[in-house]
Amino acid sequence: MPALIFDLGGTFLRCAVSTEKGGTQLVRKERIKNYIGGVSPPQVWDAVVNQMIRYQESVAGVVGPDDPIVLSFPGPVSRHQRVLNAPTVFGDTLDIPNPCTDLQRRMGRETYVLNDVSAAAWYLSEQTEVNRFLVITVSSGVGAKLFDRDHPDRVISDPPYAGEIGHMAGDSDSEAILCDCGGRGHVGAISSGRGIERLARRAAKVDPIAFAASACAGLGADAATLSNEDHLVPAALDGDKWALSLITNCTRPLARAVLSVTLGAGLEQVIFIGGFASALGDVYLRIMRGLLEELSQYSILARYLPGLLKLGEMGEEASLKGAAIFANRVALPELRMRLDRP
């Protein structure tokens, strides 16, 4: 029995069909609408569901009418059934449709929803041998999930705020940047790829002379058009001081959160995924490692830092692949048991 697998991000919808061994096939990636373009949450969700329906129709020869849906979702989820919010897609509103019940109604399939970082943790658990690790996504937002092989659920995803370190206050200034959830100065608003891009544009306006001397300006950016993909990341990879300084300063609030969880939970590894962290690669790890050394200055932790941080091998597809593993290990066995009952 396969499953329809979807990974909804702040920018893209990824679609696949699970294989018998928990892999993915027939993978497709499509850009979605989001609230930033002025589209209302119901319109965003309706457009996403229509994209899912079209994908379902395109794989009708592979997926049967009784096969379930597993959706990896960018927000806190309770018991694989109830979504609480999704600020990177819908903004700060709590008035959003329940994806689980709505997909069951509109697509006629049993539906399981799990947080996108939980899905990534399922995938990454097969890429590392450590017992307890934290996976952190740095992309449109910032999120995290703890994986512990000794815990019956493996991924610690309840209560639903578990791992939501992106919504810690990282800047208490009254003029701190707003988070997509409506809070001010949150770690995700500052340290995410989306947040760093916004703050880079703000910095370019505040100090145009320093910006004009940067590689970002040399690549054709101005304060209104500067982007991560075309300017900030290429400049940082080339060693540009302006870009590296800005990224480092923006990453510091996340580094504080990482340090606290590492020491508090006794983490053996911290694995970074998401488009922004993956695009910077080893440069991102060097920035994060330097910040942890600066913030900790703890000799015992210093011994572990060289092996503590790593990049997730699958980058942006980790959540899609993890949702397929979840389907194979949790959703499909549960559904089979339910169908076998008299």
Residue 121 covered by a domain: no
- Residue 74 and residue 25 share a domain: yes
Residue 123 covered by a domain: no
- Residue 246 and residue 110 share a domain: no
- Residue 163 and residue 37 share a domain: no
- Residue 239 and residue 219 share a domain: yes
Does this model's pTM top 0.75?
yes
pLDDT above 90 coverage of the chain, percent: 55
- Residue 99 and residue 160 share a domain: no
Residue 171 covered by a domain: yes
- Residue 268 and residue 282 share a domain: yes
Tens digit of each residue's pLDDT (9 = 90 or more) over 295-317: 998 889 988 988 999 998 866 78
Give the C-alpha separation, 304 to 270, whole Å. 11
Tens digit of each residue's pLDDT (9 = 90 or more) over 77-95: 766 666 656 655 666 555 6
- Residue 158 and residue 93 share a domain: no
- Residue 218 and residue 160 share a domain: yes
- Residue 77 and residue 135 share a domain: no
Range of the domain at 57: 4-116+317-340
Give the C-alpha separation, 31 to 12, whole Å. 4
- Residue 307 and residue 325 share a domain: no
Residue 279 covered by a domain: yes
Q: Does the pLDDT value for residue 34 go beyond 90?
A: no
Please count the structural domains in the chain. Answer: 2
Burial class (CB in 10 A: 0-12, 13-18, 19+), 14: buried
Q: Does the pLDDT value for residue 336 go beyond 90?
A: no
Residue 102: give its domain's CATH number: 3.30.420.40
Burial class (CB in 10 A: 0-12, 13-18, 19+), 84: middle
Nearest-10 crossing angle of helices 41-58, 99-107? 40
- Residue 187 and residue 48 share a domain: no
Residues 6 or more apart whose CB falls under 8 angstroms from that of 90 comprise 34, 35, 41, 44, 45, 96
Tens digit of each residue's pLDDT (9 = 90 or more) over 187-202: 999 999 999 999 999 9
Q: Does the pLDDT value for residue 170 go beyond 90?
A: no
Query: By C-alpha distance, which of 157, 69, 78, 68 is closest to 118?
Result: 157
Give the C-alpha separation, 72 to 113, whole Å. 6
Residue 175 covered by a domain: yes
